[in-house]
Structure 1
Amino acid sequence: MQVIDAMHKITSHIRNPSKFSKASKLALQLIEAGSVKPGTVSHFFAILEAAMSSPGACNEPSVRADYQALFNAAQGVTECFNQQQKKQFDIWVLHAVVANDLFTDDSFVFSKAVGKIKDAISALPITTVDDDNDEAAALAAVESKSGTTHNNTDDNAQAAASNSLPDDSTHAAASNSREESSDPFGLDGLLEHKSNKSEKAREKTVAALNRKADEDESKRFLKSQREALLKCLEIAARRYRIPWTQTAIDIFAKHAYDNMNRFTMQQRDAITKLWNSIKEQQIRRKQGKSVSGKLDVNAFEYLQEKYSHEKISIRHAVGGGGERRATQWLG
């Protein structure tokens, strides 16, 4: 109980940048003490979620090292996470560990981080028309300042479906009433047949809701992963003025450009503009001309600014046990 209370206290403080350093060290102590177990993992995950409530905060110079220390250590307890938590944690690692490695002055660490990001890009699925449409809708929602209602769509849909489903207690009461009657007209068989049909319809509805929930969840994770990788590309591009980073960034950006079909439309536009500006820098270097080291990241800035307004918590998407299922409606 003391461990859980401690986790709750850390959660309440760790989202505050001025208290992050101290709170993260306390979280590290819990990991080192072996306090993160199946019985406490949900409370520990809440600490990580609070720490990443604003993903951009983890890249601030004053807390980069603390974020890296916390999330590197947390990788040792991921066996306690459920599937959804592991997926979310992997995205947070891109923000808190890999992206921060791009700020290093060590060329080996920088190149290693670039390699990890390239592998992650290669593992992305090909973008679909639906992905592009979803992106356009999301950005339009942010523009119109109505994006906050989007996150409640699934909950409202499930609640509406739940309200529309028959109540098991009603069936049970009706069944008991029929058993107590003499049923002189032989209607029991008909009523039971109707109940069976209703139950089958109910199961189909629940199955459909579960499929929709799984699809939406997969889309959300994929969207977050693309955004994290795009942020890494932007951070790397901003370091292009440093000569020893240029070759790695050239290769990194070319890889992203060659795999543009794994990103959404606006992201593809940002990658194209970045790659074109890199080619200009390369031409100037070959001609012996001076280079500014500044790349075109305006499109990245636009997207990151829009992404920052989307606050989505993993707990909005999954049930108490981490499994986003609708089986509880089966009674």
Structure 2
Amino acid sequence: MADDLFQGLPPLYGVPAAAPGAACGLLFQEDSPPPPPPPAPAPILKSALKRDKPSDPQDAAPQKRLRFRTSVDATEAQVIEAMQKIASHIKNPAKFSKASKLAMQLIQAGSVKSGTSNQFFDILEAAMASPSVCNEPSVRMDYQALFSAVQDVAECFSKQQKNQLAMWTLQAVVANDLYTDDSFVYSKAAGKIKDAISSLPPATVDDDKEEAAALALAENKAVGKDTAELGATTSATLSVAKNHVSDPFGLDVLLPSKSKKDKRARGKDVTSSNQREEEAEEPRRFIKYQREALLLCLEIAARRYKVPWAQTVIDILVKHAFDNIDKFTARQRDAIEKLWASIREQHIRRKQGKSATGKLDMNAFEHLQEKYAREKISIRHAVGGGGERRAEQWLG
């Protein structure tokens, strides 16, 4: 029994021959784990695929880059030339849209300065050469955008130019706001008009005379032109005859003439006196144009009385102008009286159901106005809000 039981048997397949005493251990030995797989090859980097840059810069391929210019470095002379071109084209209503956008680009680029403010003001003056054009539907929005943008550079203008700009803004911005379909914008524009009317000084007799003279001059323009030409011809003939009589032998040429310094001094005095007169006349001229612009705004507002939500605003606005009628001239007072009579008539017709809709068109404001117009309010504010007789008896 001491002999090995597996003696004489062939060795196991794939297992090397072992010592006789180790045969039993080989039968019960667990299988060894498989060998690990070979490591994956390292990935090829993109940088390894790139070719080395040539040492000579001339051999390198030219690289194209797209660059955008965000600003334009223009000299003051170029800016002035551009403003002159815009001023020549902005007069045409067909070209106003494009020209106004170019003018706004100058404002955004900061090209409107003290040195170029006069040239830019020429653009605005050319745009308002015909004031009625700014309220036409085709260019209405462009006028609003331009004169709203000009407010950012208003400090560059002189006092006279600022007054003129304020009058143009009233026509091009505030008056065009009255064509809106937004009730908030409409009410805001009406508030600006009311404030402007309240700030006007009372009209004087001189204002009425000046207005009458201007109307007479406009009516007799053709006759006045012929008269002026005839007067100029007559004065020229008389001056020639007078010179001939005063100097029949032509000896005045030999007399010593006045020096150039005296002429220059006299010219400076005349220029300074003219400037003083213009400065003194500027406030009156500004008030005159402001009255005309406000009357235009009132007429535009009254045309929209058919819009239901605008009726109350128009009633208040025209009533405010009628209450301050003494701040307008004679012709303007007549226009405001007719305007208020028309608005009041339409207001009564709406309450009577004789409007276009055929029914009572009273809005919420008018309902409350009529309600509180009939209420009796006690002066004691404590009892008897309706003013009953019993409350008066109880109070003794």
Of residues 211, 215, 221 in structure 2, which corresponds to 1:135?
A: 211
Residue of structure 1 in register with 2:322 after alignment: 257
Change (3 A) 1:49 1:171: closer
Residue of structure 2 in register with 1:241 after alignment: 306
TM-score in terms of structure 1 length: 0.70
Kindly provide the CA deviation profile for residues 115-155 of structure 1, in whole angstroms up to 9, marking residues without a partner as x.
Answer: 00110011111100000011111111111125998xxxxxx
Query: Is 1:29–2:105 an aligned residue pair?
Result: yes
| Amino acid paired to 1:282 | H
Query: Is 1:68–2:144 an aligned residue pair?
Result: yes
Residue of structure 2 in register with 1:307 after alignment: none
Structure 1 residue matching 2:305: 3-state secondary structure: coil
RMSD: 2.6
CA contact (8 A) 1:284 1:291 kept: no
5 Å matches for 1:75-114?
75-114=151-190
Kindly provide the CA deviation profile for residues 68-105 of structure 1, in whole angstroms up to 9, marking residues without a partner as x.
Answer: 00000000000101100000000000111000000001
CA contact (8 A) 1:138 1:147 kept: no
CA contact (8 A) 2:178 2:301 kept: yes
Change (3 A) 1:148 1:25: farther
Shift of 1:2: 1.2
- 2: CA distance between counterparts of 1:148 and 1:120? 36
| Amino acid paired to 2:182 | D
Kindly provide the CA deviation profile for residues 50-76 of structure 1, in whole angstroms up to 9, marking residues without a partner as x.
Answer: 000111100110001100000000000
5 Å matches for 1:1-331?
1-145=77-221, 169=260, 209-290=274-355
The answer for unaligned runs of 5 or more in structure 1 is 150-166, 173-197, 293-331
CA contact (8 A) 1:127 1:264 kept: yes
Change (3 A) 1:22 1:213: same
- 2: CA distance between counterparts of 1:206 and 1:43? 22
- 1: CA distance between counterparts of 2:141 and 2:224? 32
- 1: CA distance between counterparts of 2:198 and 2:327? 8
* Higher-RCO chain (CA-CA 8 Å, sequence separation at least 6): 1
- 2: CA distance between counterparts of 1:206 and 1:36? 28
Runs of 4+ in 1 over 3 A off after TM superposition: 146-149, 167-172, 205-212
Question: By percentage of residues, which structure has more helix?
Answer: 1
Structure 2 residue matching 1:2: 3-state secondary structure: helix
Kindly provide the CA deviation profile for residues 236-283 of structure 1, in whole angstroms up to 9, marking residues without a partner as x.
Answer: 011111111110000000000011111000000000011111111122
TM-score in terms of structure 2 length: 0.59
Shift of 1:210: 4.7
Change (3 A) 1:32 1:132: same
Q: Which has the larger radius of gyration?
A: 2
Residue of structure 2 in register with 1:188 after alignment: none
Shift of 1:209: 4.8
Change (3 A) 1:206 1:10: closer
Structure 1 residue matching 2:354: 3-state secondary structure: coil
- 2: CA distance between counterparts of 1:99 and 1:105? 13
CA contact (8 A) 1:67 1:97 kept: yes
The answer for unaligned runs of 5 or more in structure 2 is 1-76, 226-257, 358-396
Shift of 1:214: 2.7
| Amino acid paired to 1:38 | S
| Amino acid paired to 1:16 | N
CA contact (8 A) 2:302 2:343 kept: no
Residue of structure 1 in register with 2:28 after alignment: none
| Amino acid paired to 1:253 | V
Shift of 1:222: 1.3
| Amino acid paired to 1:217 | E
CA contact (8 A) 1:257 1:272 kept: yes
